[in-house]
Structure 1
């Protein structure tokens, strides 16, 4: 079985998300939640809870975004 990028979700206070997803993206999100449940044994009753860790992981691994943040940080602090 393939190793998923999202693992166990922390047990934390729920966050309300209000957005519209295309039906195809919602189906994929539900399928991903089912895959996470099979791999981790953690039932995910609300697939929307995957959105935050997915977005966080995406931003953390986006090299272009990391470069922009470094440039912005160096401008703000005068470093670099």
Structure 2
């Protein structure tokens, strides 16, 4: 059996967000949730897999990580910057 990229879903306090999805993507999301549910032995609502999918995508996007790190470095106050090596 193929291993899905998402593992068990964690229960976390959600923030409501409304999005519109193309019908084909919605059908794929439903299919993904059904397969994940079969693998975990528990029913999975399609909406519950969206956040972990986005989270995983962002965590593995090297370009995003690089730019985010650079942005954080620039926004750090001067007095909290680590000392420069001489």
The normalised TM-score by structure 1 is 0.85
Q: Which structure has the larger Rg?
A: 2
How big is the alpha-carbon RMSD for the aligned residues of Structure 1 and Structure 2?
Answer: 1.9
The normalised TM-score by structure 2 is 0.79
Q: Runs of 5+ in structure 1 lacking a partner?
A: none
Query: How many residues are aligned here?
Result: 79
Runs (4 or more) in structure 1 with deviation over 6 Å come to none
Q: Runs of 5+ in structure 2 lacking a partner?
A: none
How far the C-alpha of 1:14 sits from its partner, in A, is 5.3
Quote the residue 2:17 is aligned against: 17
Query: Does the C-alpha gap of structure 1 residues 18 and 71 become closer, same or farther in structure 2, counting only changes over 3 Å?
Result: same
How far apart, CA to CA, are the structure 2 residues paired with 1:65 and 1:35? 29
